[in-house]
Each structure stands twice: as structure tokens, then as C-alpha cells.
């Protein structure tokens, strides 16, 4: 169902896109994501859950809805909530048996009791049943299907440079970018969404100011995939990757809204309040007709206002808190015909009621005694708290601490050149001011202006509830939607002794799904803290590794640039019908092909010719070095095992090189060109390394006053005659005098 | 990718550099006992901390000294060798 036009909406009305989903035809609008188009068509079951194959809908609409994953032609695991709709798309839900509507594997939900936490560890414990389990898992697990015949796709890579990189285009990120640019810094501002604005949904004057600022380059539809040493951040766009080197990085990545845990909190129609706001403001898709809001912060009441403005009925607000600030409550007073919206403070939803077919929510039951019955609704919105999107900060080596005032982890000590602002920094109210502070400091860090002192007031009330979790004897209160983990799964894991955050993660698989725990790690940590009597700060977090979102293989795959070196005799070999073989980067002739003669025969004939008469070997691939200086002979004697002081000018000598421990590392031939001038060869593969190592000894000057070591250009050809028919001699084509004598 | 500052060529990406090992005083090969020499050749200290190391900027073949905090993975200082080690 579409709402009337919303200010700043992302869709283009009138531009209809036709597509198919699960064999049925639908229409969306240009600017829709797959999920928003389906939701606007009244389709609320977008996928099936990983383990129990339960029907799932939209949770975040912010690229974390891993249950709404689709196969689009040969492209597997397309995220419906973040992928733009394209006309003609042919979509099916992944991880279903027969169809999304009627998934045969949903029966697994009834056997939940036989699928305990740590199931794999337990199932694979004995060897006897291993083959049976393996066969079963191969069929039932995994998500999309890989099309091995999919055409190879190449995406360009480019290098980027800037003074200040701002990650996140919400109010704090935009303020930071402006502050840094105004001080003279060259700024790049990236945001993973199609438009800047973050949670303001474009309702801010910062947007126009950013667009008017020439020193800010804006990259939308782009996410920072990770933080690597010295401010090296890969920026992933739909068809390109930019390796951005910044002099300072501002992390303004915001926070993920966190779900509450109650029975059936995964039914289609139960979603985060921010997801409903996105549906309304971006795509004008009606999240539901009549909703119940589960609240625990001021954001909930702002969302209620927006819902009412969009014409959505709010049946009730259930607040986990017992005391609610008056300023927040005032939003409820005039918002409904026939009286204010009922508010149940200090209560919680204990259960969402499913429709008969289990594919939608039809009501909620609450803790509060006054409401013995259900509240009927077709949507439940959760606004109970946030978790910082701090992956980049962790990767940069930031020390985090748990702040009890906002019930989240905030940066305690940032590495040099890394800054944080906004929600990820624990600032929810004065986000623009916090951004200005960080932007000014980052610019100053790069030598532009001085860091401005901006006062950022502390939060009055915590935007996050410390315990948004409600137990239920019948379970199905999901804590991790990727991995289908219920509250009791984690409690059991802790009871079985996996009572450390790292152990619990690995045993229970919490946070290891495609969204990497963006909506489950915080609640899991709270459960662990409560069960072990520790504080969240003591429990700590696991490390969020790159990448922030999955990156297509085509973005990562590069082209191999393999140099190929040829000796000056290459054309001569070619004329002699050489068959080539690679020796490192060098091309060397393996043998010369003769018509009617096999490879082995050719090699035999050649070997025989050298044995009996004469042959020339192309040794142009060898490393060729020169050393000059009064102590050149002494230098060589340090690295080669033979004596060279007595070698006569014009003579050569075989040379074996050892390292300090006496291990042979190279060999070659040393020729004396003058008293203070030697020419010597190294092996083909050792050429670069030996030159480098000799240079080091020369730099270190331990033994020798001054020598100069030079590398003869690889283009200089050399050949050696072999066999009884020729005098054993070495030739250097240009300047080398004929050398006589033995080695 | 990390950046290292070559004393001649300025800051460059770490892929242009080669590590040459920790700088350790070499005992006089003529005077050292077998044990002393074996200790010099085979034993390294793996303890983290600030170390003086040989590094080479390979495209220009420039050897220099880097003082690196291996515990925090920070390059503190780079300079040309002046015979003081």
C-alpha cells in the first residue's frame, strides 16, 4: 500500500517497474528497493529463516535483513532491503523448499527441541553418523545457488586521496564534513544509502550546505568496507571499488536500532521503528494499518508522531520504562480521534500473536494485568535502543568502554587521526554539534586551522534500554534472526560452560550470520552479562572484522599483471623455433622444435651435440653485477667462499655464496676486469635478492671503506659456450673483453 | 596498507619496502667463540617492543634504519645508517 507523496521521498511516481517474485507479477516504482516494492504490494513474507524456515518480513530495511535474501537470475543472495529494483527482475527467495509460500522445511520449527544450541558440535562429535549428517546438511543448509556458468564480471579499481574521509552522511557526518571543509580540508563524504541525510530523511538544511561546499566530494551508494592501517579505506560502490587513502578518518556511522526479544518477535509485520520510518519517508510504503509501539526511548514517541502524520493508526504504546519524561508523552495526547493513544508504562510485550497460517502478526499480548486480552494490530514496531555501528572504530584499534548513561559502548581512546561523532560516539541529541567538533579536529589534525572548542551536552535520558528482553516458556523469542537463535539457546550455551563472549559466539553461532551480529551481538552480550553477573563492560565485545557488508567477488578479483622478461637473444631463439618455458619471470627456450621430431628426441639430440661438439647457452637471465673500489676483492671474499685478491685481470673464477650461518645461498662466476673492478653473475632467481643483500653489506660498511655495487642492465646479453669443441669462455656482448683461462 | 617513510624518497606504501631483519651487533668473526657466533647467527628475540631494523626501499635500493614499535605496530622513526649501530 502506497502512502500519499512524502516530502523528499526516493521513489519516482509514474515510473513503473514490472518484476516477478516467486512466479507472480508485481509493479514497483523507480527508486524502490525490492523489499519496499513488495511491501507496497502487500507482500509481507519476503523470505524464510535459516534454521526453522519461519516466514520473515522486513526487520530493518537498512541492509541487515538477511532473511529477505533473494536469488536474482544468476546473482545469489541479493539483499532485498538494500538492492534497487530493476525492471524485469526475476526473483525467488533463497533457502526455501518448493516455494516461499509453502516451505516443506518449515516443519523443522516443530523439531526445535532436537536442534539444540551447538548442534553441529554435538552432531559431528561421533564419527559413525558423520556421513549421514553430512548428506543431510548439504541439502538443508546454505542460501542462494551459485551459477557456475555466470558470465565473468570485471569491476574497475581506483585509488583515491583526500585529507578527511567522513564515513556516514547523517547529521553528524554532514556537520563534520562541513566543519572540515570550511577549515580548508579536502573532504570525501560517503554514505551507503542512495541519498545523504541519514535518519533525518532529508529534513535538514545541512544537505544544501554540503552540496554547496566545493571542497566536499559526496559518494552515495558507497560503503566503507573496512579500516586498514594508516587510514586506508576501501570504498565499495555498486560497480567499482576505490582504495581511499585519507589523512584523517571521521567515523560517523551511527547506530543500528536493536530489536526487542519476545515470543514471535520474528513474525512478518514486527519490525524496528526505524524500518517503518524508512518505509514511510523513502518509499512511501505503508508499514502497517494499525501498529503497536514497543517503546523505551524518545525516538519511539517521535516515530509515533510520524506514523500518525502518515495516517497510520497507533493502537497502543507499551513502554518498558516505568517513568517516562513528560515531553516525550505529550506526543500521544492529541494523536487519535476519540482520545489519546493508550500508554502502558513499565510493561512489555510477552508475545506477538500469529495469524492462523503463521505468516503475519495479528496482535500482541502484554505483561500488564489490566490488558488481559490482546491488542489487535497488523504491525509491531520496536524502539527500545541502539548499538553503535563501530566496526571501523574497532578495526582502527579504538579502545571502547561501556557508558552506563547511554547503555552502549563508546570510544574511550581513539587512535591518532581517527575521529568519531554522532550516535557511534554516544551522542544522540546534539549530533550536529558533535560532528562540528570532530570535523574541526580532523581538519586541524591535517594542518588546516585549529580545533574548535564545541560543547556537546550529555544525554539527558538513555536512548537505549539495558534489558529489552522478555522470557517465555514456549520460546521462539528470537535473539539472532540470521541464525535463528532463541533466548534459551544462549542461556543453554552459557550453562554448558561457554560463558565467555568469544566462546559463546563460536558455540552458539550468535553474530556469525550474514549480518555479522548487527542486531544480535548487543542482546547476546546482555544475556551473557546477566547470566554471569558481570557488567556489559566486563563482558566486552567480539571484534567486527572487515567487510562491513558483503562485497561481491567481482569487486575483489583483480587482473593478474605478470611481467615477462626476454633475453636479447629472444628473437634468435624464436627464429630457431624455440619452445618456451617460464623460469620465474624469464622466458627461456626449453628446446628447439624440429619437424617430425618429438620433444624428448629434440632434447636428446641437443644434449648429444653439446657433449660431442659445442653449444651455446643463453645465460642472459642470470643476475649480472659489478663492483668497483679499492677493496672490491676483499668484499667479494666476505660473501663468496673463494679467494679473489689473487685473481688476475681478465680471468674468471666460479663462486659459491654463503650466508652468515654457512648455508649456500647462491652461485655464479666472478671475472676481474681491472684491479678494482669485478663483474660477477648470480642465479636467475637470486638476482634481485643478492643485489639487495650485497647493497646492505655495503651500506653497513662493516668491512669495506667504499665500494660501489652496480647492476648491469638485464638487457645485456650473455652467452656461454659449452662442450669440448669450444674453449670454455664467457662473453659479455658489449664491453666485455674476451676472457681466457679456467674457473 | 601501511605507509613507511624512506629517508630519501619520502612516504611510500609498505609494498615497496623489504625487511632486512633486526640490527644486531656482529661479534668479530675472528675472535668470537663458536657459541657466540652461533648465538648471533641463530638466536633472535621475539619479545615485542621498540626495535631497530634494516629496511630497504626496493625500487631505489635504499637501505635505511627504522625504529619500529612491534607491540603497537607503529613506525616511530626512519633514517639513513650512519655507522652508529
A635-663 pLDDT, tens digit per residue, is 999 899 999 999 999 999 999 999 988 89
Candidates B14, B59, B61: best to mutate against A (most CBs of A within 10 A) is: B61
Contact list in B for residue A695 (CB cut-off 8 A) is 56, 61, 63
Q: Which residue of A660, A692, A702 is in closest CB contact with B61?
A: A692
CB contact under 8 A, A229 and B63: no
Contact list in A for residue B2 (CB cut-off 8 A) is 229-230, 232
For A729-740, how does the pLDDT look when each residue is reduced to its tens digit (9 = 90+)? 444 433 333 343
Res A715: pLDDT: 52
Which of 16-75 (B) contact A at CB < 8 A?
18, 20, 26, 40-42, 54, 56, 58, 61, 63, 73
Phi-psi region of A277 (alpha: psi -120 to 50; beta: other; left: phi over 0): alpha
Percent of chain A exceeding pLDDT 70 equals: 94
- Structure letter (DSSP) for residue A355: P
Contact list in B for residue A691 (CB cut-off 8 A) is 61
Res A86: pLDDT: 96
Find out whether the peptide bond into A547 is cis, omega within 30 degrees of 0: yes
Percent of chain A exceeding pLDDT 90 equals: 71
Res A78: pLDDT: 92
Q: Are A379 and A331 within 8 A, CB to CB?
A: no
Q: Which residue of A228, A688, A699 is in closest CB contact with B1?
A: A228
Write b or e for each residue in A438-457: b if 16 or more Cβ atoms lie within 10 A of its Cβ, otherwise e: bbbbbbbbbebeebeebebe
Q: Which residue of B40, B58, B63 is in closest CB contact with A699?
A: B63
Res A399: pLDDT: 95
- Over range A450-459, report the average pLDDT: 95
Res B26: pLDDT: 87
Contact list in B for residue A701 (CB cut-off 8 A) is 83
CB contact under 8 A, B2 and A230: yes
Residue B31 makes CB contacts below 8 A (sequence gap 6+) with none
**Strand ranges inside A307-440, DSSP E:** 313-319, 343-345, 349-354, 361-366, 375-376, 379-383, 386-388, 399-403, 408-413, 418-420
Contact list in A for residue B56 (CB cut-off 8 A) is 692, 695-696
CB contact under 8 A, B63 and A691: no
Confidence class for position B85, pLDDT limits 50, 70, 90? low
Grid cell locating A435: 560532528
More confident call, A702 vs A109: A109
Residue A93 β-bridge partners: A70
- Structure letter (DSSP) for residue A64: -
CB contact under 8 A, A230 and B73: no
Q: Determine how β-strand A615-618 pairs with β-strand A623-628.
A: unpaired
Radius of gyration over alpha carbons of chain A, in Å? 35
- Among residues A141, A196, A146, A138, the alpha carbon closest in space to that of A172 is found at A196
| For A233, nearest residue in chain B (alpha carbons) | B1
For A489-523, how does the pLDDT look when each residue is reduced to its tens digit (9 = 90+)? 999 999 999 999 999 999 999 999 988 999 999 99
Which of 4-23 (B) contact A at CB < 8 A?
18, 20
Confidence class for position A43, pLDDT limits 50, 70, 90? very high
* Choice among A378-392, A531-545, A701-715 with the minimum mean pLDDT: A701-715
Q: How far is CA A353 from CA A272, A275, A286, A379, A476, in A?
A: 17, 20, 21, 11, 12
Res A739: pLDDT: 40
Confidence class for position A93, pLDDT limits 50, 70, 90? very high
Res A153: pLDDT: 83
Res A742: pLDDT: 35
Examine the pLDDT at A743 and tell me if it is beyond 90: no
Which DSSP string corresponds to A654-717? EEEEE-TTS-EEEEEEEEEEETTEEEEEE-TTTHHHHHHHHHHHHHHTSS-S--EEEE--TTS-
Give the separation between CA A244 and CA A242, rounded to whole angstroms.
6
| Domains by residue range for chain B, with CATH | 1-22+48-85 (3.30.2270.10)
- Over range B14-37, report the average pLDDT: 92
Examine the pLDDT at A727 and tell me if it is beyond 60: no
Residue B66 β-bridge partners: B53, B78
Res A73: pLDDT: 87
Residue A737 makes CB contacts below 8 A (sequence gap 6+) with A650, A673
For A118-173, how does the pLDDT look when each residue is reduced to its tens digit (9 = 90+)? 877 777 777 787 788 778 777 776 678 888 888 888 899 999 999 999 999 999 99
For A414-436, how does the pLDDT look when each residue is reduced to its tens digit (9 = 90+)? 999 999 999 999 999 999 999 99
Q: How far is CA A175 from CA A209, A210, A427, A435, A478, in A?
A: 9, 8, 13, 5, 37
Give the separation between CA A512 and CA A628, rounded to whole angstroms.
61
Examine the pLDDT at A270 and tell me if it is beyond 80: yes
Count chain A–chain B contacts defined by CB atoms under 8 A. Answer: 33
For A216-266, how does the pLDDT look when each residue is reduced to its tens digit (9 = 90+)? 999 999 999 999 999 999 999 999 999 999 999 999 999 999 999 999 999
Res B84: pLDDT: 63
Q: Which residue of B26, B42, B61 is in closest CB contact with A695?
A: B61
Taking each helix axis from N to C end, the angle separating A687-700 and A632-639, rounded to the nearest 10 degrees, works out to: 120
- Among residues A153, A152, A161, A154, the alpha carbon closest in space to that of A235 is found at A161
- In Å, how far is A603's CA from the nearest CA of chain B? 39
- Over range B47-67, report the average pLDDT: 95
Res A731: pLDDT: 43
Res A117: pLDDT: 81
Examine the pLDDT at A405 and tell me if it is beyond 80: yes
Res A122: pLDDT: 77
Helix (H) or strand (E) holding A633: helix A632-639
Contact list in A for residue B30 (CB cut-off 8 A) is none
Which DSSP string corresponds to A173-236? HHHHHHHHHHTT--EEEE-SSSSS-GGGTT-STHHHHHHH-TTEEEE-S-EE---BTTTEEEEE
- Collapsing DSSP to helix, strand or coil, B48 comes out as coil
- Collapsing DSSP to helix, strand or coil, A730 comes out as strand
Nearest 5°: the CA angle A122, A125, A128 is 125
| Domains by residue range for chain A, with CATH | 12-140 (3.10.20.440), 157-256+388-445 (3.50.50.60), 259-384 (3.50.50.60), 478-558 (1.10.10), 570-612 (no CATH), 617-732 (3.30.70.1400)
Backbone phi, then psi, for B18, in 5-degree steps?
Answer: -120, 140
Res A147: pLDDT: 85
For A304-360, how does the pLDDT look when each residue is reduced to its tens digit (9 = 90+)? 999 999 999 999 999 999 999 998 888 787 666 767 899 999 999 999 999 999 999
**Strand ranges inside A43-177, DSSP E:** 47-48, 55-56, 69-72, 75-79, 90-93, 157-167
Backbone phi, then psi, for A722, in 5-degree steps?
Answer: -130, 150
| Per-chain mean pLDDT for chain A | 90
Contact list in B for residue A230 (CB cut-off 8 A) is 1-3
Residue A494 makes CB contacts below 8 A (sequence gap 6+) with A504, A527, A528, A531, A532
Q: Are B1 and A229 within 8 A, CB to CB?
A: yes
Q: Determine how β-strand A47-48 pairs with β-strand A24-30.
A: unpaired
A608 alpha carbon, distance to own chain's centre: 60
Give the separation between CA A351 and CA B45, rounded to whole angstroms.
60
Amino acid at each position: 500500500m502506497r502512502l500519499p507523496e512524502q516530502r523528499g521521498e526516493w521513489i519516482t511516481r509514474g515510473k513503473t517497474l514490472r518484476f516477478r517474485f516467486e512466479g507472480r507479477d508485481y509493479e514497483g516504482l523507480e527508486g524502490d528497493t525490492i523489499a519496499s516494492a513488495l511491501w507496497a504490494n502487500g507482500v509481507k513474507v519476503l523470505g524464510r529463516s535459516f534454521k526453522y524456515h519461519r516466514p520473515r518480513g522486513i526487520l530493518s530495511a537498512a541492509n541487515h535483513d538477511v532473511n529477505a535474501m533473494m536469488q536474482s537470475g544468476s546473482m545469489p543472495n541479493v539483499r532485498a532491503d538494500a538492492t534497487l529494483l530493476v525492471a524485469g527482475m526475476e526473483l525467488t527467495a533463497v533457502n526455501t523448499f518448493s516455494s516461499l509460500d509453502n516451505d516443506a522445511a518449515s516443519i523443522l520449527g516443530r523439531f526445535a527441541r532436537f536442534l539444540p544450541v551447538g548442534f553441529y558440535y554435538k552432531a559431528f562429535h561421533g564419527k559413525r553418523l558423520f556421513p549421514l549428517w553430512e548428506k543431510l546438511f548439504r541439502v538443508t543448509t546454505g542460501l542462494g545457488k551459485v551459477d557456475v556458468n555466470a558470465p565473468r564480471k570485471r569491476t574497475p579499481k581506483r585509488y583515491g586521496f583526500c585529507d578527511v574521509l567522513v564515513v556516514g552522511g547523517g547529521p553528524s557526518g554532514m556537520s563534520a564534513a562541513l566543519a572540515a571543509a570550511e577549515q580548508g580540508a579536502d573532504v570525501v563524504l560517503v554514505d551507503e544509502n542512495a541519498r545523504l541525510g541519514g535518519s533525518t530523511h532529508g529534513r535538514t538544511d545541512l544537505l544544501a550546505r554540503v552540496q554547496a561546499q566545493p571542497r566536499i566530494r559526496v559518494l552515495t551508494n558507497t560503503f566503507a568496507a573496512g579500516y586498514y592501517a594508516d587510514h586506508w579505506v576501501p570504498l565499495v560502490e555498486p560497480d567499482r571499488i576505490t582504495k581511499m587513502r585519507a589523512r584523517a578518518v571521521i567515523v560517523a556511522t551511527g547506530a543500528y536500532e536493536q530489536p526487542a526479544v519476545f515470543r514471535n518477535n520474528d513474525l512478518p509485520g514486527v519490525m524496528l521503528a526505524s524500518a517503518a520510518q524508512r518505509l514511510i519517508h523513502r518509499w512511501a510504503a505503508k508499514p502497517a494499518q494499525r501498529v503497536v509501539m514497543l517503546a523505551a526511548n524518545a525516538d519511539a514517541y517521535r516515530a509515533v508522531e510520524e506514523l500518525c502524520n502518515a495516517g497510520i493508526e497507533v493502537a497502543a504504546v507499551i513502554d518498558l520504562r516505568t517513568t517516562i519524561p513528560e515531553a516525550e508523552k505529550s506526543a500521544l495526547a492529541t494523536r487519535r480521534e476519540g482520545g489519546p493513544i493508550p500508554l502502558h508504562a513499565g510493561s512489555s510485550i510477552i508475545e506477538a500473536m500469529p495469524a492462523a497460517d503463521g505468516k503475519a502478526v495479528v496482535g500482541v499480548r502484554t505483561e500488564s494485568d489490566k490488558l488481559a486480552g490482546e491488542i489487535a494490530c497488523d504491525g509491531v514496531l520496536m524502539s527500545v535502543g541502539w548499538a553503535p555501528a563501530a566496526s571501523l572504530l574497532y578495526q582502527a584499534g579504538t579502545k571502547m568502554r561501556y557508558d552506563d548513561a547511554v547503555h552502549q559502548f563508546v570510544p574511550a581512546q581513539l587512535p591518532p587521526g581517527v575521529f568519531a561523532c554522532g550516535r557511534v560516539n554516544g551522542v544522540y541529541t546534539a549530533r550536529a554539534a558533535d560532528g562540528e567538533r570532530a570535523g574541526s579536529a580532523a581538519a586541524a589534525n591535517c594542518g588546516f586551522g585549529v580545533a574548535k572548542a564545541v560543547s556537546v551536552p550529555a544525554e539527558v535520558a538513555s536512548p537505549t534500554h539495558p534489558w529489552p528482553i522478555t522470557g517465555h516458556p514456549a520460546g521462539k523469542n528470537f535473539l539472532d534472526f540470521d541464525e535463528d537463535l532463541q533466548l534459551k539457546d544462549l542461556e543453554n550455551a552459557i550453562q554448558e560452560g561457554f560463558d565467555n563472549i568469544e566462546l559463546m559466539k563460536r558455540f552458539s553461532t550468535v553474530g556469525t550470520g550474514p549480518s555479522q551480529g548487527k542486531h544480535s551481538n548487543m542482546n547476546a552480550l546482555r544475556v551473557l552479562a546477566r547470566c554471569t553477573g558481570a557488567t556489559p563492560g566486563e563482558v566486552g565485545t567480539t571484534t567486527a572484522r572487515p567487510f562491513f557488508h558483503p562485497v561481491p567477488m567481482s569487486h575483489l578479483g583483480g587482473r593478474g599483471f605478470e611481467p615477462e622478461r626476454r633475453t636479447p637473444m629472444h628473437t634468435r631463439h624464436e627464429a630457431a623455433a624455440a619452445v618456451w618455458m617460464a623460469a620465474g619471470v624469464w622466458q627461456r627456450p626449453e628446446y628447439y622444435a624440429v619437424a617430425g621430431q618429438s620433444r624428448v628426441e629434440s632434447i636428446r639430440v641437443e644434449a648429444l651435440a653439446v657433449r660431442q661438439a659445442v653449444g651455446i647457452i643463453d645465460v642472459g637471465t642470470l643476475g649480472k653485477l659489478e663492483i668497483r673500489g679499492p677493496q672490491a676483492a676483499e668484499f667479494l671474499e666476505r660473501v663468496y667462499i673463494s679467494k679473489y685478491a689473487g685473481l688476475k685481470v681478465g680471468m674468471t673464477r666460479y663462486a659459491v655464496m654463503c650466508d652468515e650461518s654457512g648455508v649456500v645461498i647462491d652461485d655464479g662466476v666472478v671475472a676481474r676486469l681491472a684491479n678494482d673492478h669485478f663483474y660477477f653473475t648470480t642465479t636467475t632467481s637470486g638476482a634481485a635478492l643478492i643485489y639487495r643483500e650485497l647493497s646492505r653489506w655495503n651500506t653497513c660498511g662493516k668491512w669495506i671503506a667504499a665500494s660501489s655495487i652496480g647492476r648491469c642492465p638485464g638487457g645485456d646479453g650473455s652467452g656461454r659456450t659449452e662442450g669440448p669443441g669450444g674453449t670454455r669462455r664467457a662473453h659479455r656482448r658489449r664491453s666485455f673483453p674476451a676472457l681466457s683461462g679456467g674457473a | 596498507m601501511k605507509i613507511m617513510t624512506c629517508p630519501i624518497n619520502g612516504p611510500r606504501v609498505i609494498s615497496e619496502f623489504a625487511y632486512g631483519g633486526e640490527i644486531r651487533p656482529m661479534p668479530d668473526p675472528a675472535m668470537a667463540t663458536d657459541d657466540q657466533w652461533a648465538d648471533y647467527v641463530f638466536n633472535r628475540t621475539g619479545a615485542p617492543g621498540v626495535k631497530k631494523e634494516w629496511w630497504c626501499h626496493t625500487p631505489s635500493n635504499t637501505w635505511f634504519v627504522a625504529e619500529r614499535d612491534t607491540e603497537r605496530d607503529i613506525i616511530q622513526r626512519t633514517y639513513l645508517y650512519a655507522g652508529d649501530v
